[in-house]
Amino acid sequence: GVTALCWDPIQRVLFSGSSDHSIIMWDIGGRKGTAIELQGHNDKVQSLSYAHHTRQLISCGADGGIVVWNMDVERQETPEWLDSDSCQKCDQPFFWNFKQMWDSKKIGLRQHHCRKCGKAVCGKCSSKRSSIPLMGFEFEVRVCDSCHESITDEERAPTATFHDSKHNIVHVHFDATRGWLLTSGTDKVIK
């Protein structure tokens, strides 16, 4: 469910925060139709604010975290997850593929998806994790082994800063003229 909205009238981008801990950047006016995902909270996103002059998105959540996102970087859209009845790396069948399990006399495996390429892979072929900040993944996520090797240190460089407000934030307001950030929480405290 969508829990917060914020609009950038200059870039014509809509930001939506949700209860699944993610933020989606919707290209409304650019006509590219892109939707870029940002992952940086450990609980639902409850409030968003955008600083136009610095091109920074400020997100606050029930985890007490304040994340300041640098929106002045070229972000990449996350790939769609591909469907497959077997691992797209080693061809091991997934647990619902009874025919291939019977034919190969192998037990089916659990399906995962690489967050970088979107391929359906087994746990053995996706044993590594990595952050991919340009794709919005500030925390480490599952990637296939070949994508893990291809991710450079530059691609792992953070595009957001994290701050602990020490309270469950329900609303945030940024005053650009003073450079002040105002938060209010469920604890009835305004900071």
Residues 38-57, mean pLDDT to the nearest whole number: 93
Which CATH number is 18's domain given? 2.120.10.30
3-state secondary structure of 100: helix
The domain total for the chain is 2
DSSP helix/strand/coil, 144: coil
User: pLDDT category, 31, cuts 50, 70, 90?
Assistant: low
Give the C-alpha separation, 49 to 7, whole Å. 8
- Domain range for 103 is 98-155
110 and 130: one domain?
yes
- Report the predicted TM-score, pTM, of the whole model to 2 decimal places: 0.82
Q: What is the pLDDT of residues 113-165, one digit of tens each?
A: 999 999 999 989 999 999 999 999 999 999 999 999 999 998 899 999 999 99
Q: Are residues 7 and 69 in the same domain?
A: yes
Q: What is the mean pLDDT of residues 68-73?
A: 92
CB 128 within 8 A of CB 115: no
Amino acid 71: pLDDT: 92
